[in-house]
Chains A and B, each alone.
Chain A
Amino acid sequence: MIELKGLTKRYGEKVAVDHLTFTVRPGVVTGFLGPNGAGKSTTMRMLLGLDHPTAGDVRIDGKRYAQLKDPLKYIGALLDAKAVHGGRSAFHHLLCLAQSNGIPRARVHEVLDTVGLTAVAKKKAKGFSLGMGQRLGIAGALLGDPEILMFDEPVNGLDPEGIHWIRNLMKSLAGQGRTVFVSSHLMSEMALTADHLVVIGQGRLLADTSMADFIRQNSRSYVRLRSPQRERLLDVLHEAGVTVAEAGDGALEADGTSAEQLGELAARHQLVLHELSPQQASLEEAFMRLTAESVEYHAHTAVPGAPGSGPGAPTSGPGAPTSGGALPGAGGPGWGEGWQRRRKGA
């Protein structure tokens, strides 16, 4: 169990982590999600006592990290796969970590075997591929057979087989009742592995919810409509009480009404439709919406309300390329925002 209370890190004027309070529980994989620069790595470094918090507190099983005797037996972490002396062999790298925490030498061979590096155990780490480096880092995390595991972007740079392996590893570790805390900036990755979700943006907590709830709240479905008689269609929809938003490309998006009903409605008013298609917003879009206003480094061409991914670029937001940080949600409240408010109220 990891408990954060009001954890804050400030670098001069810049706030990297802003009063984070949440708990990471055992038995599930907790995804730690946020865009680049959101403060995920800084938070993880403070968890390990590497960076000193400006304010607030982190507890590992109720203790401060520095109070842990042989900390690798409590918590194993993969922070950066390159945090290894390249001139040292994989075996010696793990051996020096094991010795510092009184872990027997035999365990080094065990974890090398677990991650599949036995064949290259005597090779220098600088010759390792990114994937092998990640495996070595994971071997280091598993070394003390800890109850808590923490991985910072573990699938970065891995091939599909490696990604598959890590997903299964995390699930099986959580299945054994361990606490698994894994960061990512990819919602799609988290959707596959995490049971619980903590989302941060610009160092602030945006969501702390179960994956199932997140999906239920955010897998919004809507119908995309296009018509040459756009103004009349808008009037008709409005009269029928259908909530509608404008997509950037002249199409309309209707919430809460089925495609069948909309088609019949259009037929009754003898409107020509060029498109009538049910859509499902992806979790990735939900995540981007949630973090849109807190993304630190916007690409200038990207409109936060209309991420160009997925078919039809579904948008309920303003669509028009307004300023970079505008909140989505002209047609109906930005549901990311509303949801966020609900979470905070809960």
Chain B
Amino acid sequence: MAATQVLKSEWTKIRSVASTVWTLSLAAVVTIALGMLISVLSKNDYDNLSREDKLTFDPTFISFAGMSLGQLAMIVFGVLVVSNEYSTGMIRTSLAAVPGRGTFLFSKVLVAALLALVVGLATSFAAFFAGQAMLGSHRAQLGDPGVLRAVIGGGLYMTLIAMFSMGVAAMLRGPMLSLGILMPFFFLISSILGNVSATEKIGRFLPDQAGSRIMQVKAPFDDDTPYGPWGGLAIMVAWTVVALVGGYVVLRRRDA
């Protein structure tokens, strides 16, 4: 069983279903459009900001504001790539063709992650330039310190969110259960935990909060986060690895 054969096969699978196109385009459109909208609002509100807030004004991060919503479409993409196999029964056909379950899962994840990376990077750059255009005189330049890292980091963030979702979907199998857990977790629970002072210290080790640190260029004044941008991304990578290993163990052990 040559891995290249399986990669080719997974590429055919992913490009031949409509859900790939609509989840990824939704992720791009929502991230860019919402980022532009919030950039416009931030520019108009700039004069009302306190002196401190003006000093830590982070035009790069503001242009990524749409990602909190756009990542949900990335989650749907990641979940569907894996759980479609189970919900349609295709998994039996797939595993009969590729009995190596590790080869099967990791080829699938690799192909989907590369696609997510391409879309994520394109989205991130587009969101940055569109957002900066809206911010007018308060805009950041790609050449400013830390900005290029933040923009590339945005693409990595979206990729990792999709990969984390693939791991969770491989563990839970059903799309409804996976989405029912992931969507509220990333949209509500994570931000609640992160904003309540009692749980803030736990909340910032969650994958999305740790990972999104890479998109910040200027940290807030009272920032006591114990990790930097790359440290935060490493935490997110750790979460993703755990989810994928968990998914692999479940796939290996259970009957298809």
Chain A contacts to B: CB under 8 angstroms: 45, 48-52, 65-66, 68-72, 77, 79-80, 82-89, 92, 95-102, 140
Contact = CB atoms under 8 A, between A and B. Distances in A.
A77 B13 contact: no
Residue from the set A52, A85, A86, A87 with the largest chain B CB neighbour count within 10 Å = A85
Interface string B195-232: 00000000000000000000000000000000000000
A99 B9 contact: yes
Contacts of B1: 69-70
Contacts of A85: 13, 17, 84-85, 88, 90
B107 to A, nearest CB: 9
B96 A50 contact: yes
Contacts of B96: 48-50, 71-72, 77, 79
Contact of A102 (B5, B17, B19, B89): B5
Contacts, number: 92
Interface string B7-31: 0111011001111000000000000
Contacts of B6: 100
A83 B18 CA distance: 18
Interface stretch (B35-43, B60-68, B97-105, B161-169): B97-105
A50 B256 contact: yes
10 contacts: A70-B1, A71-B99, A82-B88, A83-B88, A83-B91, A87-B19, A95-B12, A95-B16, A96-B12, A96-B16
Contacts of A84: 88-90, 93
B118 interface: no
A83 B99 contact: no
The 5 A-B pairs with the shortest beta carbon distances in the complex, nearest first, are A100-B9, A92-B16, A83-B89, A51-B255, A99-B9
Contact of B255 (A45, A82, A89, A98): A45
Contacts of B95: 48-50
B19 A80 contact: no
A125 B5 CA distance: 23
B12 A50 contact: no
A317 to B, nearest CB: 38
